[in-house]
Structure 1
Amino acid sequence: MAKAKARRRVRDTWKEKSWYTIKTPVNFEDKEIGETPARDPDYLIGRGVEVTMRELSGDFSKQYIKLRFEIDNVAGDVANTKFTGHKTTTDYVRSMIRRGTSRIDASSVVKTKDDRKVKLHVLAVTTRRAKSSQQKYMRQVINDLLAETAAEKSFDELIKLVVNGKLASEVYHNAKKIYPLKRVEIIKSKVLN
């Protein structure tokens, strides 16, 4: 006769978990962006959350902007986050670029007034094909403007300008003097410290 196997009791870890509400930072109006389960609040710290600008503001025209947050502390059943960066969707970027235009990418690390470093990636699309010397000069103008603007602003002010599109508009008005532009977007940002 075969030995009776001792059945191991499987522990249901799902029942041990509790739900935590995820909130945006104060500069994003402290809005609730979701809920997440965790067995221990310490497991939440460092967890990333991605949300579209439309979900935060209700503005459907900002659907293509994805904001990234990271949970940095937990108070009770509320998980507070910090802004870590943003990006635009690839389909939106591809829709801007057409045949016979030039895509000018400028990437720079800027330092804010309160010594925070942010990497910004700017995309400028011209109306017609631009010469490489014009593209090079435009990159230089864009990087100088980004560094100058960031040095005058605090971290929260800079992020607000980037996400709302006001900084991209400012770049557009300064860079269009070099060559006619169709569109300028800050397609990516990343907080470095």
Structure 2
Amino acid sequence: MAKAKARRRVRDTWKEKSWYTIKTPVNFEDKEIGETPAKDPELLIGRGVEVTMRELTGDFSKQYIKLRFEIDNVAGNVANTKFTGHKTTTDYVRSMIRRGTSRIDASAIVKTKDDRKLKLQVLAVTIRRAKSSQQRFMRKTIEDLLIEAAAEKTFDELVKVCVNGKLASEIYHNAKKIYPLKRVEIIKSKVIK
């Protein structure tokens, strides 16, 4: 005779979780960017959140910029974040590059006035195809401009000018003297711990 199998009661862990509101850092105006569930607030620390610039500012023209934040502390039911980097979408980068132009990628690890480090990646697109020697010189110039601009700004100021495009505009106006440029964009930034 077969034994009757004892039924195991499944515990619903979802009901044990609480919801926490995720907020941006103060330099991004302390805005709400979402909610997340967790059983314990300690489990939230280190969790990454990605949000577009359009969601933060309402400016549709900045849809292609994705900001990355990481939860670093929890106060009550509010999870506070810190900025860890940003990037532009690949379709936006592809739309800038055309046949007969040159793509110049430059990256530099920069140090701010308050001793914070960031890795910045810049994309410059020329109007016509540039020689490799001109591209090398342009790359070196852009890297020098990045290091120089970062040294005179605090971390919060640098993040702000990177994300809103002011630093890219500054680089464009200085680098176009070397070779005619169509566009300069800071396509990626990453905070180095």
Give yes or no for TM over 0.5.
Answer: yes
Q: For this structure pair, what is the TM-score category when the shorter chain's length is used for normalisation?
A: over 0.9
In structure 2, C-alpha distance between the alignment counterparts of 1:158 and 1:47, rounded to whole Å: 24
Is 1:116 matched up with 2:148? no
Displaced runs of 4 or more, over 6 A:
none
* Shift in Å, 1:99: 0.1
* Shift in Å, 1:126: 0.1
In structure 1, C-alpha distance between the alignment counterparts of 2:90 and 2:139, rounded to whole Å: 21
Match of 1:30 in 2: 30
**Counterparts of 1:175-186 in structure 2 under 5 Å?**
175-186=175-186
In structure 2, C-alpha distance between the alignment counterparts of 1:171 and 1:11, rounded to whole Å: 58
Q: Which amino acid aligns with 1:104?
A: I
After superposition, give the CA deviation of every residue in 1:123-182 in whole Å (9 maximum; x if it has no partner): 000000001111001111100010011010000000000001000000000000000000
After superposition, give the CA deviation of every residue in 1:94-125 in whole Å (9 maximum; x if it has no partner): 00000000000001100001111000000000
SS at match of 2:100: coil
- Percent pairwise identity: 88
Q: Which amino acid aligns with 2:72?
A: D
| Alignment TM-score, normalising by the size of structure 1 | 0.99
Match of 1:92 in 2: 92
| Alignment TM-score, normalising by the size of structure 2 | 0.99
Match of 2:173 in 1: 173
Is 1:2 matched up with 2:2? yes
Match of 1:145 in 2: 145
Any unmatched runs of 5+ in structure 2?
none
Q: Which amino acid aligns with 1:64?
A: Y
What number of residue pairs does the alignment pair up? 193
Is 1:75 matched up with 2:75? yes
* Shift in Å, 1:5: 1.3
After superposition, give the CA deviation of every residue in 1:23-81 in whole Å (9 maximum; x if it has no partner): 00000000000000001001100000000000000000000000000000000000000
CA RMSD of superposed structures (Å): 0.5
Is 1:101 matched up with 2:101? yes
* Shift in Å, 1:7: 1.2
Q: Which amino acid aligns with 1:151?
A: A
Match of 2:128 in 1: 128
Any unmatched runs of 5+ in structure 1?
none
